[in-house]
Structure 1
Amino acid sequence: MSKRRTIPILLILCINTILMPVYGHTTIGRLNGYTPFYRSNDHELNPTNSFGTAHVPGPLGHVWPGSGYQSPFQNFQEPLQVAGNSYSPVGAILTSTPRQDNVGDLIFAINFSQPRAYITSDNPEPTFKYNNITLYIPAPIVDKHGRLSQDGFEPAGGINWAGGDTSNIITTLTADYGKIFVGRADMNDPFAPGWWVIRIIPSGNGIVFTPERNWGEWYYIRVNQLRAPDIAGRYMFKIFLGDSYPVKGQGPPLIWSAMPVENWPVLLVKGEVDPAIIYGTVKYGEGAGLDLYGKPVKLPGRVRAVGVACDPLTGRPTGRAVEARGYFNASAEGHYEVEGVAPGIYDIYASAAGLPERKVAENIQVRRGQSLNLDIQLEPGPQVRGEVHSKSCWGPIPWRGELPITIVIYDSDNYVEENVVCQSPINLTHAPYISYVSGNTVFGPAGLAAPNTPKIVAFPWEGPVSYYSYTNLPPFNDPFEVYNGVGPAQVWWVNPTSSLDPITGLGSDSSTFRFQFGAQRYYGAPKHFSGMIPQVFGTWIDGLQPGTYFVRAYVNGYVQTDISGSRFKDYYFTVEPHTLNVEFFIDLYSSGTLNLTVHFHDGPAGMHTKPVGGPDPGRFLIVEALDHRGSLAAFNFTYVTAQSTSAFITLNGLGMAGVIPPPDPRSGIKYSLYRYRGLRDYGIPPGTYLVHIYMRGYIQASAPEFSLSALDQPIATSISNCETSLLSTHMVRGGGINVTVYSVDWQDPSTQLHWRWKNTPAYILAYDMATRTFVDVIYFWTPAGGWSIPKVDSDYSTLPHHDWRIKYGSKASMLVTNGSTVLERLGPDLPNIPSTYPMQAMVSTVFMQSSMHIGFLYSSLSYRSLNYKSSVAIYPGQYAVTCWTYGYVQEGVVRLGDLGRCGVAVGLGMIADSPIKLINGVEFNISVIFRSEGLPMSLPSNMSMRIRVYDERDLLVAAASTSIDIGMVDESSSFGFFADDKKIFDAGCTRSPIPAGTLKVEYKGLAGLFGYVDPIAGTEAVRRMTLFSADSGVWGGSVNRISGAYNGGWQVIVEMVPWYNQDSFYPPPPGLLQGEVHQTRFKPILPYNHLGPFELMEVVRLPNVKLAGRISATVTLDMRGLITGRIFFHNMLGDQRSLSWATLTFEGPTRQVAYSLDGFYEAYLHQGAYKVTVSEPGMKTQNQSITIPDGGVTRVNIYLKPSGLPIPEYQDAKTLLALTSAILTIELLLYNRKRPKRIRMDGMIESAGS
């Protein structure tokens, strides 16, 4: 290998475009078991593609790094990197180790493949539009034993995704962080249980692909500072557009309403610089039926290589524990690939759905670049059969109605979710998340309302043979299969009028329910529900190991006890090493029922009931029964109309809660609490219970006095099995607050002025003064619009104004609250959204609800506090009201939570009036100009802009971004962003932010916060979406003594982030999505977001002005210098490869860190001399000295030599820690969250849960 020298080339002129690496693009494609490639539609040049030399038609996902990765069996693109030749994958990153984090950035991109395939005579110029995107990123999952049941990526450096921190997510879809959400999917997510979920609602015109641009739009999402997984393998990223998931592979008819699964991006994570691959076929062993023995499995599964790394050069063990995994779906027909394997000595474990994991090979040594072919045999696990009997205290009885039933298998008699091994299938994609139905789960008086019927579902069997008459024709797929099915076809409902399935003998008859997990000698009861399988849905990847298992049957209104009902009864079975079949019986006893009547009263004077009243048609009534431990034992809700003086509701346990009357789209649906709170359908065990009741505007009370001491007194009742109890209780109307908001000047006495702004929301908040707790945000009701936030009108000076009911209708309410309207506004859950093209894709609210949790079923805290006090009623007491609206301030109110000076006393059944006076605050007019080397310049690319104004307390008092600002309220107004006099607003996607070529940007009328969520406060996005936005004005000085008046100055911060080049969406511009670093006087920058192209060379400080005053400022942004280039290394065969996630540390006037993506790197830096350190595990660290010119570009290509040393597990982490320690202050470090202990698996896996 010849020695190579790198020569830095200094360029004075800026370049317009930094080209991303040009490689073939590999996605997951369609996996199969056929040579030579084992997949199709994964790469543009794959000759087995269904649609020629391109990916399948439809939206197409990319991830960088990852460019250049190829299937290990392709032979159609250089550089060859194939198994059996010179396995050396391109576009891969190294794993982390328990003591050494490998950190870098990911950039996701979306474009459209083969749009012309959709052209028809009826639609010659199709346009494709999507109003949101959901991105699933694999996350590590630690099971109850502290072991990694699944690995994935984690945000590093104190970024708390679990808490909703979105600060490291930047996108061209929007610069409004109120539209970016992140969190972790729960373990019942149907697509990717336990994964990270990023959801973005685009600004502008949405994600569109248009014929006017030749369908050439690209959209980018940058996710900074992620920690690589510890476990090597190929990781995919699931992308869903428009809340839709595909229900079939891409083919006639074509899919366009969702991203085809074949087009999801993949990234290889490798355990060494020169890794190996283990591949082969998983087949049925001798324990399978004679018709299956030796055939490839057509089931999803996983292969694990667990061992100790070896020195790549000497082959000697190093002691570093290593693991690699490969997942395969049913269409792969048993073909598996465990990629990125570090040279080492391994034990091999394998499993498939219903085929338990076992060690299939041990002490296998693989060397660098080696391709090891290993075929595997697995045995089916045990079949589990059972019968559930409906009984009363006097013997067998018919089922109490048509009800869903769930059978759950646990590995312990501690019946908690983490001990769940397997459960019967429920519909996880659509509310109410209970057993499958054909149609919808709409109930009538006698059960499911016609034409809705229980749906037959089965294990996802795809052959290779028929094992019962439902699968008697090739290709032997079960016609009733679902991704979470567990056995032969059956319904999972009980029904007193049903009969058993004539083919399988399973399902319900009048008093018995028969079920089956697995099919003997074909597949056993499945285990371990995982989203890692390359397909839309998660599915099973394992089977039952020898051991003792416990079973519970869950049906609303039934308890699993002895005949007395006082003692819970365990049912269990034991699996021995060669057990083929298990059978048992379960008795369920009908529990007690409570029929409750609730009477409504207007006040403490007497027993007379009164109608609930409006202004809306009705309210939700929620009832909870708590046992002696305070645990929820029964739950139900109903809808009470405005004309009602009383309400009747039944409690018989958990599940089957509701219903809502027409015309609500959720009418007739009954809900289970399992998907929302983890509470499965069940009955009420015998005992004494406290019953709590909640409804807007009313407080539970004891009759007849309704004294203050009698409020919030739950009623006690005793419940016995098989009996019905009657109970009556009361609710008294609470207090109310009627608010009028005035726009006034700052003088004393004040004078009313017309509102300065038009159609801006006014968020009126009520607080309990005694506890300083938030009570409500006031909405008003109109028959046409429902519950709405009021908006100020610049033609008036009050809110509401004298023409209120002329504008909104005679039945519109004023600004009155008698308790939070959250129950009525949001309901129990979002209604299901019908799919426009159900044959190609289905729409689900799961994507939105993974981060939003909209609806009162998700948490009791939506209607009560932890001490069971109602949060939807106003109790007698003292209350404060505040109003938050753009451009205005309120005396005594500076920060959210301040109570101000508008107090009001409220009594039972009384409406108290409270005026609020708002004062016009300070306005800023900001001009921004651009310079390079001290000379004026125009913007080199389209960029978003964020303007922030801080006071001397480092309090953000005014802000706007090109995606959210006051200018978007009225497009024709003279307020907002102006780029060379052209108004810019609602920028996102194809709606340009500040365009390339702009010389000057002006912001006119920056008077506070309007719908603004800061990047470091992304957790506020959910509050803005579901409750209110803390819109506000800017406090200034005052000649009068006004509480809240501010006499200090302000500091202006402007940041710009490159989105696109001037005339094209691809390739991306230099510094793509870099620059959201949030630098203020007191808070640290966010180093992981990297410096952008412009910097504030001088601090911009503004002097104080009085309230209603205006002040102007000019901000000059200077172009930073850019360093860019490529990083290469040579693999074991001397072939050149690009290097991803190499760390570049720049030490000079500032200290910055960058990471390479597919060999490409770039960093914006302040001018000056720098020492550059380039490091990567397994490579020799290289140091260079460079000089960054003012506004210029420096190109440096870097070649790293292999160190010749294996990657150690306990490498000195000094270099890695230095990436942030010199920059992050103690304040930021306080947010650091310790990762859970990660223990590498060295044997059989225990499930992390269903």
Structure 2
Amino acid sequence: MKAKRGCFILIMLIVLPLAFTQSPTVKPQDTVNVSPGEYSYKLGRNYPTEDAVKLEYPKSAVLTNTTGELLFNITLTNVNQSALHHGQGEKTPARITKTLKLYIPPEFKLKGVSSIWTSFTNDYSSLSLSLTQTGSLDPIAPGWWELTIRDITLVDINAVTMVNGLSLASQRMFQCNVTQYIRVFNVTSPAVAGRYFFKVFVVVNGEHYSIGASNFPTLVVKADLNPAYISGVVRYGGPSRPELYGSPLDASPHPDGTILLPKGYGGVVYAEGLTAEGLRVEAKAYFNATCRGMYTLYGLAPGTYNITAQAAGFPPQRLGGVITVERGQSLEGFDIYLKEGKTVEGVLYSKHGYVETPWGYVYNVTHPWVPQRRTVRVEVTSLEETVIASTPLRLVDPLHLTYQPGDLLPPTSTQHRFALRREVSFDGHIPQDYANYTSGIPSGDYYVKAHVAGYVQSEEAVIHLRNETTRIETVIDLYKASYIEVTVHFKDKMDRGASPSKVGGFLYAEALDAAGAVVGFNISYVPSGLSCFSMEIQGIDVWNRLTAQESKVTAWIYARDRGLQPGTYRLNVLFVNRTADLIALNALLLASPEQRLIYPIVTPELTAVFSAEVLELANRGTPVYFQLDELKATAGGLCASRTEVSLPLVKGGGFNITLYAVDWERPAVNRNWVHPNCPIRIDIYDERGSLMDSLYGYQPPPGSLRPSTISISTEGFVTAGAVTFFTRAIGLKTGRYLLKIYTYGYLQDPLHDPLMVQVSLGDMSDTRVNLIKGARIELTLIFKTEGLMDPVDNRLEYARPLNGLDATPLRVELFDGEGKLSAANVTYIPAGVEAFQLMLEGFLNYYGNPRIVWTNFYDTTDGSRQNDYGIEEGSYIIRVTVAGYLQTGLLSVEVGSGAVKSRPTVSVAQSLERMGYLKGHVIWVNWCGRAYPLSWAALTAYSTNGVEGYTYTLDGDYEMWLPSGDYDFGLSHPGFKDAYFEKGLHIGPGSVTTLNFVMN
């Protein structure tokens, strides 16, 4: 071990670079950089020693637990990774569509999608831009932030700049090899120091391709302005293989074939300590199986530390003694020796009573006549039921991120061997493309549990792992459970006999115990035309009963396969005309039967994985057929016996509604629909005001036949003139229902508001409603610099974040007299125009409450869905947002029926003044007198007229957009005293000014 003192600051690290577990080998083309992070370099720089990183990263580091911003520079190419991988297809097409997935470590605290801006889009629909947190079994980055930008079309640089007379940006098209940006505002840095990296994947033709782990951008987070670092090698130190003592933990094969850390696995070194002032400091460094065990702990504040290390198959072990580091110190050669963990193995026996019996097959809903092998999951848990190790899911298809259970039972055998050793602490911080395990099983007392569909483990298996124990074996008997066979009879009316169902769909049945918990369920597809159908409830079988990959993985996290214990169960059965996956998932997650009825689903575990549009399809309150009577059944002993029950399912009621497009006249005159293909949504509320479900249709497509009426039915069809298409069928219980209709540019006739419809089980009601064509506002924008008309040009320096576009994004919002957002539009302004006209006619697929503007330039929304609607009569104000421009006053507008009753139109104009552009650099001087860029310094501009602006420095650079005026400045950073600079700097409209600062 050797200690070095140097006049440079260093920060914490998170892992060693380069990856083992890579996505399919494709030469990286698309690139991503992050700021701050310019001098932290890419993850693979100088792998595995990281010499350049250790010398330079202090120029880019940020402090722990501080607030700032992240700027990602994205350069996408027209390279077709799918064609390169498969060796077929055009490798560099003139046009290609990609989806970008950026993974941000969960230690960074983000404030939602309203803190995300990107030059790729100003549409905040989740189908365009989304920010979610991945599940704990995500194969790439479990528990991380996933920022997704979908459907980015790249065109060759030589392609025409306009398509169909429109700018590329307005059609979500971008020139390839031109940098675009993602800016994340109001970020809080991790509390744990380290070198963090950001994973980046592109999706082409539904296939996921990493840009290459060695190309992932990184950012170092430090606990002190002048930190220290500790580096060394993690080595084998176990007693069972003395000949390997001191060997690095990596994937290198030893002479006897032993591999200490197989490829794909990883480990972590972490430090916990106190500074002289009593402040607690933590740092982490992850390593993979290809870095020869090397690690570096960056960002340590001066203090005294305990060091702990672990790796896959090697449980956490704290080093004896403490390590003390001083300001700016480099402590190298600090090697760590780990002992191997415990191996838990054993045999599972399939029992029918006291006799061994083959495991057999199960049959799933996707291929109902194809036998499937049973899955098995073995868990080692603490005596408090915390899972320590578990049979893993295997990533069998990295391109499509497809999982399969790690163990399948041999159908003709009566036994199954299992072993667990490395399957502990699934983590995405290993420096590689995919997540994997990073720990082992320590000494202790544990339960061993086996989960198999249709089986019950009747006795607890307890094991005792002592310090001297390296391997233990156990035997577990699993008993075939009894099951319930449910037969349903479809009826149009309760007092009639069974009749064939008119629609196909999914039959869902669940068994509830006395506490209301779901202990068994089944799903099966039932084609139309059947009068009865039977299926079995054998317990829980998440992998073979659910259909979608996301559903299977989510259920794997929160549910366990099992059979039915002897007892009496309440049965719920429903028949739906869409997938029942999410109904089953919601039932498994929620303990309360009442909570399962809430619509739309708000269960956090599901809203984090599935979009709102998908969750809308999961509704147990509006099945096509209803169970009216309570049903109970008793499952026998652990002997595979069958209990048969049957029940009627009665067809729900419904309605046919005819929508008329009319003008503002009284009596109303029918008019053709004016917004072809725009969606129509009908929300259905019960008498308590609870949303029950929604129906969907579309305004008629363009053509010579443009009927003024559209019919939508709960039986699942939409008719416009001679055209009929089918959607989703639902059913309703007997009662009165309130209907609210939403579509772009139209208002529900006040004469039909509220619109109530009476429904009876098995019957269809008919109703009609007029939709009045709303008003149109024609808005003309005039662009000025210093009061004179001046063309918009996003290629100029003031619009640097938009320089990669061929047009400037525009957002217009309309507010009523009470300040409620009543209409909005997003579009793009072509370059070189002095005036631009757009129309406001309501909401059309608009997502967001009133916008937020960061630094007077970057406008964002919260992504909330607005109801498609039209503009009513009334008084309004208009707010216009164009990056780099100032609207000096809100524009008032009056909307009335006017002289043209069929289509009232109001024309207004608004001028916008270009703001001044201020840029510069902020540096600081370290303890050795060296000047470094300062990141995440908060710069505030104060004007004499009360206008303020603020921003954060990124790698020392900043930029601001300010209205005309004289400005002083304030600088704030957690590592320094606040500074105030009385500059009196004049910023003129359209000016470009440079101003630098030094913080001491």
Please state which band the TM-score falls in when normalised by the shorter chain.
Answer: 0.7 to 0.9
CA separation of 1:1017 and 1:626: change in aligned 2, threshold 3 A: farther
| Deviations, residues 306-358 of structure 1 (Å, cap 9, x unaligned) | 1112xxxxxxx121111111111111120111112222211111111111111
The equivalent of 2:312 in structure 1 is 353
| AA at the equivalent of 2:635 | I
Identity over the aligned pairs, expressed in percent?
30
1:427 and 1:436 in contact (8 A); partners too: yes
| AA at the equivalent of 2:529 | Q
2:344 and 2:420 in contact (8 A); partners too: yes
Aligned pairs for 1:150-549 within 5 A: 152-155=107-110, 159=111, 161=112, 166-178=113-125, 179-202=128-151, 206-207=153-154, 215-242=176-203, 257-298=209-250, 299=261, 300-309=266-275, 317-373=276-332, 374-401=334-361, 402-414=373-385, 419-427=386-394, 492-497=407-412, 510-518=413-421, 525-549=422-446
| AA at the equivalent of 2:388 | V
Q: What is the CA–CA distance in structure 1 between the aligned matches of 2:737 and 2:992, rounded to whole Å?
A: 61
Deviates more, 1:104-113 or 1:168-177: 104-113
Q: Verify: 1:1031 aligned to 2:980, yes or no.
A: no
Aligned pairs for 1:1000-1149 within 5 A: 1000-1004=835-839, 1006-1014=840-848, 1030-1036=867-873, 1048-1057=874-883, 1093-1106=884-897, 1108-1148=903-943, 1149=946
1:88 and 1:274 in contact (8 A); partners too: no
Deviation at 1:435, TM superposition (A): 11
The equivalent of 2:831 in structure 1 is 996
SS of residue in 2 equivalent to 1:262: helix
The equivalent of 2:993 in structure 1 is 1194
Q: What is the CA–CA distance in structure 2 between the aligned matches of 1:792 and 1:767, rounded to whole Å?
A: 32
User: Quick one: which of 650, 653, 657 aligns to 1:735?
Assistant: 653
CA separation of 1:167 and 1:761: change in aligned 2, threshold 3 A: same
SS of residue in 2 equivalent to 1:89: helix
| AA at the equivalent of 1:1163 | M
1:921 and 1:1034 in contact (8 A); partners too: yes
| Deviations, residues 598-646 of structure 1 (Å, cap 9, x unaligned) | 000111333x1111013xxx11111111110000011111111111111
Q: What is the CA–CA distance in structure 1 between the aligned matches of 2:402 and 2:565, rounded to whole Å?
A: 23
RMSD after superposition = 3.8
| Deviations, residues 571-615 of structure 1 (Å, cap 9, x unaligned) | 222222232111111111111111111000111333x1111013x
1:59 and 1:263 in contact (8 A); partners too: no
| AA at the equivalent of 1:716 | K
Deviation at 1:258, TM superposition (A): 4.4
Deviation at 1:1053, TM superposition (A): 0.6
The equivalent of 1:693 in structure 2 is 573
User: Quick one: which of 727, 741, 744 aligns to 1:883?
Assistant: 741
TM score, norm. by length of structure 2: 0.79
Aligned pairs for 1:1163-1242 within 5 A: 1163-1186=960-983, 1187-1191=985-989, 1192-1201=991-1000
2:542 and 2:555 in contact (8 A); partners too: no
SS of residue in 1 equivalent to 2:296: strand
CA separation of 1:342 and 1:88: change in aligned 2, threshold 3 A: farther
Deviation at 1:434, TM superposition (A): 13
Q: What is the CA–CA distance in structure 2 between the aligned matches of 1:410 and 1:810, rounded to whole Å?
A: 63
CA separation of 1:746 and 1:430: change in aligned 2, threshold 3 A: farther
Deviation at 1:813, TM superposition (A): 5.3
SS of residue in 2 equivalent to 1:273: coil
The equivalent of 1:604 in structure 2 is 494
Deviation at 1:767, TM superposition (A): 2.2
Deviation at 1:777, TM superposition (A): 2.3
SS of residue in 2 equivalent to 1:177: coil
Q: Verify: 1:634 aligned to 2:520, yes or no.
A: yes
Deviation at 1:131, TM superposition (A): 3.0
Deviation at 1:1194, TM superposition (A): 2.8
1:927 and 1:1000 in contact (8 A); partners too: yes
| AA at the equivalent of 1:934 | G
Deviation at 1:921, TM superposition (A): 1.1
CA separation of 1:729 and 1:920: change in aligned 2, threshold 3 A: same
| Deviations, residues 884-925 of structure 1 (Å, cap 9, x unaligned) | 1111101349xxxxx933211111211100101101111100
The equivalent of 1:570 in structure 2 is 460
TM score, norm. by length of structure 1: 0.64
| AA at the equivalent of 2:744 | Y
The total of aligned residue pairs comes to 859
SS of residue in 1 equivalent to 2:290: helix
SS of residue in 2 equivalent to 1:131: strand
Aligned pairs for 1:742-891 within 5 A: 742-768=660-686, 770-779=687-696, 795-800=706-711, 812=724, 819=730, 873-891=731-749
Structure 2 gaps, min length 5? 1-12, 160-173, 251-260, 362-372, 581-625, 795-806, 853-859
Q: Verify: 1:559 aligned to 2:456, yes or no.
A: yes
Deviation at 1:674, TM superposition (A): 5.4
1:559 and 1:684 in contact (8 A); partners too: yes
Deviates more, 1:911-920 or 1:405-414: 405-414
Deviation at 1:724, TM superposition (A): 0.9
Deviation at 1:362, TM superposition (A): 3.2
The equivalent of 1:503 in structure 2 is none
Q: What is the CA–CA distance in structure 1 between the aligned matches of 2:448 and 2:846, rounded to whole Å?
A: 51
Deviates more, 1:639-648 or 1:363-372: 363-372
Q: What is the CA–CA distance in structure 2 between the aligned matches of 1:807 and 1:1034, rounded to whole Å?
A: 26
SS of residue in 2 equivalent to 1:340: strand
| Deviations, residues 536-561 of structure 1 (Å, cap 9, x unaligned) | 22111112222222221000000111
1:887 and 1:1007 in contact (8 A); partners too: yes
User: Quick one: which of 29, 35, 40 aligns to 1:69?
Assistant: 40
The equivalent of 2:258 in structure 1 is none
| Deviations, residues 394-434 of structure 1 (Å, cap 9, x unaligned) | 332222433110011112343xxxx2211112146779x99
1:657 and 1:670 in contact (8 A); partners too: no
The equivalent of 2:618 in structure 1 is none
The equivalent of 1:463 in structure 2 is none
Structure 1 gaps, min length 5? 1-25, 33-38, 42-50, 97-101, 140-151, 248-256, 310-316, 438-454, 458-491, 498-509, 519-524, 562-568, 661-665, 700-709, 781-787, 820-872, 894-898, 963-992, 1037-1047, 1058-1092, 1202-1250
2:923 and 2:934 in contact (8 A); partners too: yes
2:775 and 2:841 in contact (8 A); partners too: yes
Higher RCO (Cα < 8 Å, 6 or more apart) = 1
| AA at the equivalent of 1:320 | L
Deviation at 1:124, TM superposition (A): 8.1
2:519 and 2:540 in contact (8 A); partners too: yes
CA separation of 1:681 and 1:82: change in aligned 2, threshold 3 A: closer
The equivalent of 2:502 in structure 1 is 613
CA separation of 1:80 and 1:226: change in aligned 2, threshold 3 A: same
The equivalent of 1:683 in structure 2 is 563
CA separation of 1:1035 and 1:1052: change in aligned 2, threshold 3 A: same
Q: What is the CA–CA distance in structure 2 between the aligned matches of 1:274 and 1:757, rounded to whole Å?
A: 62
Q: What is the CA–CA distance in structure 2 between the aligned matches of 1:670 and 1:648, rounded to whole Å?
A: 27
Q: What is the CA–CA distance in structure 1 between the aligned matches of 2:560 and 2:44, rounded to whole Å?
A: 47
Q: What is the CA–CA distance in structure 1 between the aligned matches of 2:509 and 2:662, rounded to whole Å?
A: 45
Deviation at 1:693, TM superposition (A): 0.8
SS of residue in 1 equivalent to 2:247: coil
2:16 and 2:286 in contact (8 A); partners too: no
2:710 and 2:720 in contact (8 A); partners too: no
User: Quick one: which of 933, 949, 956 aligns to 1:1152?
Assistant: 949
Q: What is the CA–CA distance in structure 1 between the aligned matches of 2:156 and 2:684, rounded to whole Å?
A: 45
